[in-house]
Structure 1
């Protein structure tokens, strides 16, 4: 399949070669300083890129899940240098040893300013995530003999969010469109989207970049073509009379692509010199060592979560290619990625995991949930856990109940088939707690049976005057903005952050009441 596509690339390459040979103009690399006749990159393009960063970064990493995002002690006495002279930037770019032409001009400067000043928090998050993703990118690029600096492409494509999905339909870290992904061997169906698989999508991207370099032989044109497609780059070359220097065809390219190469140069600069700008990586507590186990029967993430006692969001983060929390292993085997220690544990407990609540998720081993099989009596206690009951009282909310019993609100909802955190007074909830702490939690259940919301809690939950206007969600233990948004069709994490005037998704807390969307 790849060879077939590459054959079509050769035809494009031949056309480009004819156009290029028709001109005697030199393609000598240029260094364009801030006094160039090129105008400053339009504010609209920069603002559009900034908004993209806001929506992509921190969607499902920047949340309150315990242990998923951790603080980093950053030893630096450096102070942010907001007003550096152009000569400093030029010198620093010259000191980066790279096969790329790292030009400096007003366009590049605008993106450096965006990264180092206006979007510092997002950059610090990406710096932390790069510890997990960059080794994946570098290994694939090195194996193909491509420049390691190409690892910065996903910074501007997806902000290192494997679940990123563009308005045009591109998906994943490398933002593959559907047909391009299929052409490079990525499986996309109702259950699996390998464009979101960090490992497989990286392999596909490396192949695509290698094919593009065989066409253009210039890395700036390669990354421009990666963004807008070879057709648009070829059209710009043709209209320019055969010029093949990115800056010479700059205004003949789509507006988004004009900012793409400057953004790439700026990302290379910022990730190289982030310490000089006092940018502090926010470490994502994703496992440095992970491994895959091959699954040969349909498996739901909740089965793995309950048996191995690992938060389901962590499983989702490591396996973003599965769209419905289901590994659809019927005819073919599929990989499940886990932290290394958990992968070995899974191997010893595989039969228990596969059989746990199997009839609930996969009746007759089919990829459907059995209608009506939602009774709490169908649950088997997770290993080392014992079932206790709690009767809902006036003023109770899911997040607070989960907090009392040290469980995740997602688990509490799952055990009791709770939708949208709706519980009723007198409802008896099943809660699985540690066997050696049953008495402790039973005493808590008795103590809380007379619980009445305090004035401060009541005020927090009431949100007077708006109850009739909005749908609300009470944050539970383990909830993230991303996981909450998944519960409400048509609602994105960005919608929730905007509606509640939240600038840092990490700041949501159990018991907090969030506006989800206006009532229709």
Structure 2
């Protein structure tokens, strides 16, 4: 019945930091350049490589939100004394880093060059508090990772890849839709036999997701016979790596195809090497693991019937948000278990006996409300990551379609609702919305007709409705179509990579260059993209 483990994920459910984009499409997210390089040391071939890139911002920006989380601020005890923050080595010579990397027992080449050094300094000097929190979290997650990696005879240092992917946050979700500790995209997760349904997402199950990541990385290593290339392909997809190899004349050394890779992936392997260094030598840099100030012991019981988190909290002393954090794989507070298909429930050790003693009363509590006729229905609550609100009593639901120029502030003011409510109703993260997106907005029932009209109003009219004037905008000049190109009309769900696949001999890089795009976020429905005519 019990499987005793230590569990830190209880304090992670608001951490959306450092989220990589594992198994992404092969579209290039950043423009690459082959200029401004500086000679650096390569410890594997004793040769000089022109490798340099200031990529720290790509990852450091993602890490900034880590310590701002309410949960981290309230559950971790940070020693912010001046001595603690400043008493660490700085500006170490390259020879020290090279020697230390060579001393690490590893099967993956830990090359050293200026890019790696930049990331080492980011971890050990610039983002120390974030790293100290992750060091504390690793006490739980790394044993899980190591057991799985050993099972597949993989290098144990692969565990540091999760630092790059998710900052050890089991519910991390990227803008591209990658999810969990190992940031699996939906398609890759399904191919790796992870269960994803309306109620369950095993990408957020630490044990299941780690097993899938190990299998996927093994497949990539078997494809390339090189861990650097396998790690790069995990981030940007095998298509981008294969393309970089072809453009480099068949070279299969990561550093030799470096500038042919998408820019984010160029920083991915150096960041992995630097994370390995920072975790192996955290004591030498006075990085002290930070742990939550509460009991971490939990047990697991197997559930064999439908169960709602509300039924548990009604009968034993545990908060729902704690249940959600301990059981991140359940998307709507519902465990859809049956005798033929049991699911695990993780509880704090101090609650486990109370659950066992009261299990009959727990399952019976308001049974018909949560599972009428003992069937699964639309859940009445859900967790913060996947929330889809039910109708609100006394309010009418209006569906608004996002248009060019809209933002969360504008929309909330037009509908006279709080921006925080708009975000909550539609699971909006970081105020990111896209053209064509459908937003559910709850307004007074008596005013529904008035708010329904907003969909058909111009931007100026919407601003006038709240007593503001819209600044005159320049009408975009309609340019005649150039016969030297064919044109692709962007449809819902299109990505640059998917579009490129539809036209023989055309790469995503060429599409972005011709249309002045930097990534998929520049696309909108109805947009006409230039495609170079072949032949």
Secondary structure at 2:64 match in 1: helix
- Equivalent residue for 1:177? 185
With over 3 angstroms needed to count, the CA separation of the structure-2 counterparts of 1:328 and 1:208, relative to structure 1, is same
Q: Are the aligned partners of 1:362 and 1:369 in contact in 2 as well (CA < 8 Å)?
A: no
Report the CA distance between 1:59 and its aligned residue: 4.7
Do residues 320 (structure 1) and 320 (structure 2) align? no
**Structure 1 partner of 2:62:** 52
> Is 1:342 the counterpart of 2:347 in the alignment?
no
Q: Is contact 2:42–2:48 with CA below 8 Å preserved after alignment?
A: no
- How far the C-alpha of 1:127 sits from its partner, in A, is 1.1
Q: Which runs of 4+ in 1 moved over 6 A?
A: 32-35, 72-78
Cα gap change, 1:488 to 1:114, in 2 (>3 Å): farther
Cα deviation 1:191-239 (Å, max 9, x = unaligned): 1111111110011011111222222222111111111122222222222
SS at match of 1:294: strand
Taking a change above 3 Å as real, the CA distance of residues 236 and 491 of structure 1, as seen in their structure-2 partners, is: closer
Shift of 1:95: 1.4
Distance 2:292 2:138 in 1: 9
Cα distance in structure 1, aligned partners of 2:149 and 2:296: 19
Q: Does 1:351 align with 2:360?
A: yes
Given candidates 11, 22, 31, the residue that maps to 2:43 is 31
Q: Is the 8 A contact 2:67 2:129 kept in 1?
A: no
Cα deviations across residues 151-185 of structure 1 (Å, max 9, x unaligned)? 11110001111111112111110011111100111
Tell me how far 1:244 sits from its aligned partner. 1.5
2:255 counterpart of 1:247: yes
1:40 corresponds to 2:40: no
1:279 aligned counterpart, secondary structure: coil
Residue number in structure 1 paired with 2:426: 489
Mapped to 2, the partners of 1:156 and 1:61 lie a distance apart of 21
CA contact (8 A) 1:78 1:278 kept: no
Distance in 2 (alpha carbons) for counterparts of 1:144 and 1:37: 33
Please list, as runs of the form range in 1=range in 2, the aligned pairs for 1:9-408 lying within 5 A after superposition: 30-31=42-43, 36-42=48-54, 45-55=55-65, 59=69, 61-64=71-74, 68-70=75-77, 79-284=87-292, 289-330=297-338, 332-368=341-377
- CA offset at residue 286 of structure 1? 7.7
Q: Which shows bigger deviation, 214-223 or 338-347?
A: 338-347
Assess, with a 3 A threshold, how the Cα gap between structure 1 residues 130 and 61 changes in structure 2: closer, same or farther. farther
- 8 Å contact 1:57–1:160 — kept in the other structure? no
Secondary structure of 2:418 counterpart: strand
How far 1:307 sits from its partner (Å)?
A: 2.2
Across the two proteins, how many residue pairs are aligned to each other? Answer: 364
Cα offset, 1:495, TM superposition: 6.4
Name the CA distance, whole Å, in 2 between partners of 1:229 and 1:139: 26
- In structure 1, stretches of 5+ residues that fail to align are 1-28, 374-416, 420-465, 474-483, 497-519
- 8 Å CA contact 2:43–2:98 kept in 1: the answer is no
Q: Structure 2 unaligned segments of length 5 or more: list them.
A: 1-40, 382-391, 395-412, 433-465, 467-535
Q: Flag the 1:418–1:120 CA change in 2: closer, same or farther, 3 A.
A: farther
- Tell me if the contact between 1:129 and 1:284 (Cα under 8 Å) persists in the aligned partners: no
Distance 1:159 1:73, change over 3 A: same
Cα distance between partner residues in 2 of 1:418 and 1:288:
39
Q: Which has the higher helix share?
A: 1
Supply the distance in 1 between the matched residues of 2:70 and 2:243 (Cα, whole angstroms): 38
TM-fit CA distance, 1:86: 1.6
Cα displacement string for residues 386-429 of structure 1 (whole angstroms, at most 9, x for unaligned residues): xxxxxxxxxxxxxxxxxxxxxxxxxxxxxxx999xxxxxxxxxx
Question: For residues 327-348 of structure 1, what are the alpha-carbon distances to aligned partners after superposition, in whole Å with 9 as ceiling and x for unaligned?
Answer: 1225732211223453344223
SS for the counterpart of 2:106 is: coil
The structural deviation recorded for 1:259 is 0.3
State the superposition RMSD in angstroms: 3.7
For residue 181 of structure 2, give the secondary structure of its aligned residue in structure 1.
coil
Deviation at 1:241, TM superposition (A): 2.2
SS in 2 for 1:290: strand
2-structure distance, mates of 1:354, 1:279: 46
- Contact 2:332–2:379 (8 Å) recurs in 1: no
CA distance in structure 1 between the aligned counterparts of 2:241 and 2:165, rounded to whole angstroms: 18
> Residue 246 of structure 1: CA displacement?
0.8
Structure 1 CA distance, aligned partners of 2:46 and 2:121? 14
TM-score (normalizing by structure 2): 0.61
TM-score under structure 1 length normalisation: 0.62
